[in-house]
């Protein structure tokens, strides 16, 4: 398939990343099928796209007409077969668990058009292992967006063992057509490039606080004002979802060893379901709209 042939992008999963990727695709002019497993989840994703487009228009990043046109290009589905109908590229953005993703691919291969290319937005899991449960491992790769997709320029394009060069070229072209800068990752080692660097940073920040060496606010002010990152480490964990970072760490710990042992502070937040911005509370409280209070 050539880039010119791509008209419809199916995004499976309407959560934090899924709705953002669907929005990016719609803004780039693609027809989008947004799918989640029940009406509430898919509606919530659709509403978030609407909110985000409104925010972008309010800040003059896009025009009102552009926002309306992008929203018009998004069709919401619960039925998987309907969502995959006519899809040229299928972007899988379901929870970061190998078993869940494999189950989804089992169903996807039954209904996806024969020519469709499959990409996964996994943050760390093996592209090769996922590709091998499909009927098209050579037309399968990682396409990893960053949170929030509509504001972050980078996309990691990750090759699995079986991925063809044509597929990597196509997906890099697709990312560029969405206004993103793709970076090719030659091998799907856990965490690829960004999370291999960023998630240990969040983990180490948590270990510093866990050990009582410094407060969370002190750590965040060093990462934000001393290291040049746009957010403090804890702010960033709240932005991406503490559960997301934690699951990436668990996987890196399992595959790469002790250096990636997750700090219990992260596990406690996950246990309490204080996952960050998406639940209103994480390391900081967002319910009153204040967000982080970093000195």
Phi, psi of 33 (to 5 degrees): -105, 110
| CB 27, min distance to ligand 3HC, A | 11
Identify whether 144 is a catalytic site residue: yes
| CB 202, min distance to ligand 3HC, A | 9
Identify whether 124 is a catalytic site residue: no
Which residue's Cβ has the minimum distance to ligand 3HC?
123
How far is 56 from 65, CA to CA, in rounded Å? 12
Catalytic-role residue among 123, 124, 126, 147:
123
| CB 240, min distance to ligand 3HC, A | 4
Catalytic-role residue among 156, 172, 235, 250:
156
Beta strands in the chain (DSSP E): 8-12, 31-35, 74-77, 89-92, 117-120, 140-144, 154-159, 181-185
Identify whether 123 is a catalytic site residue: yes
| CB 255, min distance to ligand 3HC, A | 16
- Coil, strand, or helix at residue 20? helix
Catalytic-role residue among 96, 121, 144, 247:
144
123 near 248, Cβ under 8 Å?
yes
Q: How many CB atoms lie within 10 A of CB 165?
A: 9
Nearer to ligand 3HC, 34 or 244 (CB): 244
Identify whether 111 is a catalytic site residue: no
Which stretches of the chain bind ligand 3HC, using CB under 6 A?
Answer: 20, 52, 55-56, 123, 146-148, 150-152, 194-195, 198, 230-231, 236, 239-240, 244-245
How far is 57 from 68, CA to CA, in rounded Å? 10
Angle (CA) 130 41 99, round 5°: 25
Catalytic-role residue among 121, 147, 195, 233:
195
Instruction: Give catalytic residue positions.
Output: 123, 144, 156, 195
């Amino acid at each position: 398939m050539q880039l010119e042939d791509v008209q419809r992008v199916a995004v499976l999963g309407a959560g934090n990343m899924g709705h953002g990727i669907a929005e990016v695709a719609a803004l780039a002019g693609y027809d989008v099928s947004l799918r989640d497993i029940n009406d509430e989840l898919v509606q919530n994703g659709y509403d978030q796209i609407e909110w985000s487009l409104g925010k972008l228009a309010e800040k003059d990043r896009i025009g009102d007409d552009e926002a309306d046109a992008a929203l018009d290009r998004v069709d919401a589905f619960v039925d998987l077969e309907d969502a995959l109908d006519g899809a040229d590229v299928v972007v899988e953005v379901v929870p970061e668990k190998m078993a869940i993703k494999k189950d989804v691919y089992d169903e996807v291969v039954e209904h996806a058009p024969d020519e469709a290319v499959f990409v996964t937005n996994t943050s760390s899991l093996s592209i090769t292992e996922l590709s091998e449960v499909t009927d098209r491992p050579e037309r399968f790769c990682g396409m990893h967006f960053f949170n929030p997709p509509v504001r972050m320029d980078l996309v990691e394009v990750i090759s699995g063992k079986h991925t063809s060069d044509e597929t990597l070229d196509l997906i890099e072209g697709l990312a560029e057509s969405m206004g993103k800068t793709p970076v090719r990752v030659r091998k799907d080692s856990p965490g690829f490039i960004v999370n291999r660097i960023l998630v240990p940073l969040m983990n180490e920040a948590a270990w510093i606080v866990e050990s009582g060496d410094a407060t969370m606010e002190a750590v965040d002010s060093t990462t934000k004002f001393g290291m040049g990152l746009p957010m403090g480490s804890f702010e960033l964990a709240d932005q991406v979802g503490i559960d997301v970072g934690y699951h990436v760490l668990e996987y890196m710990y399992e595959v790469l060893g002790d250096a990636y042992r997750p700090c219990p502070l992260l596990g406690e937040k996950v246990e309490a379901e204080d996952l960050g911005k998406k639940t209103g509370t994480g390391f900081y409280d967002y319910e009153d709209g204040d967000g982080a209070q970093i000195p």
